[in-house]
């Protein structure tokens, strides 16, 4: 059975917003190799509305390889209750759909990992609904000081088991968690 993996770039103070402002200078060979492994294992992506609207303006015409080719060709499911349509190749809108039922169906189908990229609101929603099989936090040695954070003060407690940790040469710590 396939698994659903939420993956996010995050600062040590928990900021996930605007990683373009604090991540690129630390993207080293080790991290590139890790991202290559993630890409190779992922054949379906879940995107929230904000990530979709940002990405659809950039990736379809990007030459930033190997990422552009993969992102453009992979199956994409856009989770949104406000969009009316999605116009990107291989993209399907999940509007008003029962996310748990859709993910259960996708997990039963043959294939590789179902991953999120960006989409912190969606990752939080998946975690709160116990729909994530793994949470991968790529923690940058940066204090952003401001910006949207992954976790909000909603009072929900989630215990996680750390199942893997890796440190890149530039100091990015990649922690993989599973629900406890």
Q: Is residue 24 part of a domain?
A: no
156: pLDDT strictly greater than 80: no
Domain of residue 93 covers: 1-19+44-145
Over the chain, what is the mean pLDDT?
92
Q: Kindly state whether residue 172 falls inside one of the protein's structural domains.
A: no
Give a yes or no: residue 5 inside a domain.
yes
85 located within any domain: yes
Asked if the model's pLDDT at residue 166 lies above 90, the reply is: yes
First to last CA, the chain: 19
- pLDDT of res. 155: 65
Closest CA to 98 of 123, 131, 120: 131
User: Would you say residue 84 lies in a domain?
Assistant: yes
Is the residue at 61 inside a domain? Answer: yes
3 within some domain: yes
Instruction: Note whether residue 33 is domain-resident.
Output: no
The residue ranking higher by pLDDT, 97 or 177, is: 177
Number of compact structural domains in the chain: 1
Stated pTM of the model = 0.92
CATH code: domain of residue 56: 3.40.430.10
Question: What is the structure's pLDDT at 165?
Answer: 98
């Amino acid at each position: 059975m396939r698994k659903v993996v939420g993956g996010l770039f995050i600062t040590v103070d928990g900021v996930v917003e605007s990683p373009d402002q604090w991540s690129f200078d630390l993207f080293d060979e080790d991290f590139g190799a890790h991202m290559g492994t993630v890409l190779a294992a992922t054949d379906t992506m879940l995107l929230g509305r904000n990530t979709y609207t940002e990405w659809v303006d950039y990736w379809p015409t990007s030459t930033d390889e190997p990422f552009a080719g993969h992102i453009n060709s992979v199956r994409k499911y856009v989770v949104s209750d406000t969009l009316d349509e999605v116009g990107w190749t291989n993209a399907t809108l999940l509007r008003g759909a029962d996310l748990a039922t859709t993910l259960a169906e996708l997990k039963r189908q043959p294939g590789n990992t179902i991953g999120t990229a960006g989409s912190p609101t969606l990752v939080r929603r998946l975690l709160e609904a116990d729909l994530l099989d793994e949470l991968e936090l790529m923690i940058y040695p940066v204090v952003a000081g401001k910006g949207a954070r992954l976790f909000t003060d909603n009072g929900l407690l989630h215990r996680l088991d750390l199942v893997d940790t890796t440190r890149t040469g530039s100091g990015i710590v990649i922690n993989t968690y599973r629900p406890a």
